[in-house]
Amino acid sequence: MSYWGIYFNGMKKIKIIGLVGLVGLMGLSGSVKAQSDDRGFEIAKNLEIFSNVYKQLNLNYVDDVDPGKTIKVAIDAMLSSLDPYTNYFPESQMEDVKLQLLGQYGGVGALIMQRGDSIFVSEPYRGLPADEAGLKAGDRIVAVDGQSTHGKTTADVSSAMRGQAGTDVVLTLEREGKQFDRTLTRREIHLPNVPYYGMVGPDHDFGYIKLDEFTTDAAKHVREAFVELKKNNPAMRGVVLDLRGNGGGLMNEAVDIVNIWVPRGTSVVETKGKVASKNIKSYTRLAPEDTEIPLAVLIDGASASASEIVSGSLQDLDRAVVVGQRSYGKGLVQNILPMPYNSQMKVTVSKYYIPSGRCIQAIDYSHRDDQGRALKVPDSLKTAFKTKSGRTVYDGFGIEPDIEVEPEYMSNIAVALTQKFLIFDYATQYYRTHKEIAPAADFEVSDALYDDFCRYLREKKLTYSTVTERVIKDLREVAGQEKYDSAIEQQLQAMEAALEREKEGDLQKHRSEISDMLKAEILVRYYYDQGRIEGVLKSDPVLRRALEELKVND
């Protein structure tokens, strides 16, 4: 019997061609023989064990076993033991692959979110089918093509809404208690990798470019944005490239973005993996746009992969100042490999090294603790490297910014307002009762607007707990177990009363933070994502610090 001959219902023999192909690719024969190649023998042996486990499950398990689902679970478990980036995609998930790699998919162009058992539109993209059909943030999606969404996840509903471009999908929506249908024609949705660029600073003399993803043509769009800013603002004193929250993407796009500000022929990144013939050194290949203008790159803990190639190489070349928080630390490169039956697999094939010679990979997936968790690269194994001008930088823990700006953490009340969708719902209500607002760059949350929001919260009877309250609750439980509760109960009640009085002032104490959140949510209703980005830049502490540094070095 072939290793991958599996009897279904004890009757029908079906050969799993894809897995036979896998064995063939490994250079193994159809039967297990005594071989000098111990590794090949171990692979063949374990593949045979796996096939027999599945055969016995299929013959003996009390319920029917779904072959597609079961094998997918097995593949996912196998790949998860390697690293989070090596993934298998069946044909049904090809739209997700297109979204990851190309920033495009067949769909209607709307973000959705789950609230309890219901799915809501959180944001339609400007000019795409959902927007053109009149969908608004806050609309509840009742059904997709007649199929109820009750109890479904966002992944379920998103999958139902996506499909071949040119096909129709009927959404049943609910707005302010009234249901209605909208027929949308799916389109190839191209998400903008540069959602906003413009001039920033008190005197509007610095350029700003926000890059969300390193999808196809990301470098082209960043270059076009920079050229336009420079052309329309000849007195521009510097430029800021914002890579915060950017999880990466295509490596060649990263190299071409660096090329905008460094000369042709500059080494940007080198990949090294198991197959030496596939190792690549990537150099800039085009004439740069500007090699002198002061440049700052913004990063945070969610800036990864291609974002780290751009920020790290510009840092290594001493071409830009990096501002923000330490980046994620993903120095791994993936390739997409075709698989049988229109499936694909994304495989980690190498690590990348930036100009100083360092690899910024922060997690060692080849070594794990007793619980199977991958280990961080220890400080003892970190190595010092030198930038082009001789500054010291280190490998093994992401990109360390030249200027660190402490992250701002949300207050307890801000977390509660977000989790309970109170800011979202107020913005929805505000949009329905206000036909227009000031331009995005000028809109501010006025005293009257903030007071109205506070009244809205009183009507909603906002409640939330603080860490201190949870500590007091835990202390009361422990005191009860140790028989100290009666001795300290009076003091605990006094602390709780004092905290409650303090919480009454939280809306004013955290007014600046909450106003920024309100502003962002209202702006997106009128001016989409572009307006939200433009509106919140004035109060962005990381951008402000970057501009201060650019002015010093101007």
**139 and 173 in contact (C-beta within 8 Å)?**
yes
Q: What is the DSSP letter of 380?
A: G
The catalytic residue among 139, 242, 316, 516 is 316
pLDDT at 78: 92
Residues 6+ apart with CB under 8 A from 177: none
What is residue 445's predicted lDDT score, i.e. its pLDDT? 97
| pLDDT computed for residue 102 by the predictor | 58
Average pLDDT of the chain? Answer: 89
- Spatial strand order in the sheet of 295-299: 196-200, 206-210, 238-242, 295-299, 321-324, 403-404
Q: Are the CB atoms for 248 and 305 separated by under 8 Å?
A: yes
**C-alpha to C-alpha distance for 501 and 486, rounded to whole angstroms:** 24
Query: How, if at all, do strands 295-299 and 238-242 pair?
Result: parallel
H helix runs in 233-375, sequence order: 251-258, 306-316
DSSP designation for 411: P
Note if 316 is an active site residue.
Answer: yes
What is d(CA 134, CA 131) in angstroms, rounded to the nearest whole number? 5
300's tokens? 């945070």
Q: Which of 152, 210, 330, 346 is catalytic?
A: 330
Model pLDDT for residues 66-86, shown as the tens digit of each residue: 988 899 999 999 999 999 999
Tell how strand 206-210 and strand 238-242 pair up: parallel
CA–CA separation, 38 and 409 (whole Å): 53
Catalytic residue among 51, 122, 282, 305: 305
**Residue 96 known to be catalytic:** no
CA distances from residue 184 to 142, 147, 159, 163, 237 in whole angstroms, order as listed: 15, 16, 15, 12, 46
Query: According to the model, what pLDDT value does residue 554 have?
Result: 67
Residue 312 is predicted with a pLDDT of 97
Non-local CB neighbours of 155 within 8 Å, separated by 6+ positions: none
The 10s digit of each residue's pLDDT in 503-554 is 889 999 999 999 999 999 999 999 999 999 999 999 999 999 999 999 977 6
The pair of three-digit structure tokens given for residue 438, joined into one six-digit string: 């000031």
Where residue 139 falls (left for φ over 0; alpha for ψ -120 to 50; beta otherwise) is: beta
The predicted pLDDT at position 10 comes to 36
Of the candidates 408, 391, 350, the residue with the CA atom closest to the CA atom of residue 536: 408
177: left (phi > 0), else alpha (psi -120 to 50), else beta? left
User: The tokens of 431 are what?
Assistant: 């949009």
In which residue ranges of the chain is pLDDT below 70? 1-37, 95-104, 554
Residue 429 burial class via C-beta count within 10 angstroms: exposed 0-12, middle 13-18, buried 19 and up? middle
DSSP state of 23: H
369/489 Cα distance (integer angstroms):
43
Q: How many CB atoms neighbour CB 205 within 10 A?
A: 17
CA 429 to chain centre: 29
Q: What is the 3-state secondary structure (H, E, C) of 425-450?
A: HHHHHHHHHCCCCCCCCCCCCCHHHH
The per-residue pLDDT for 100 is 62
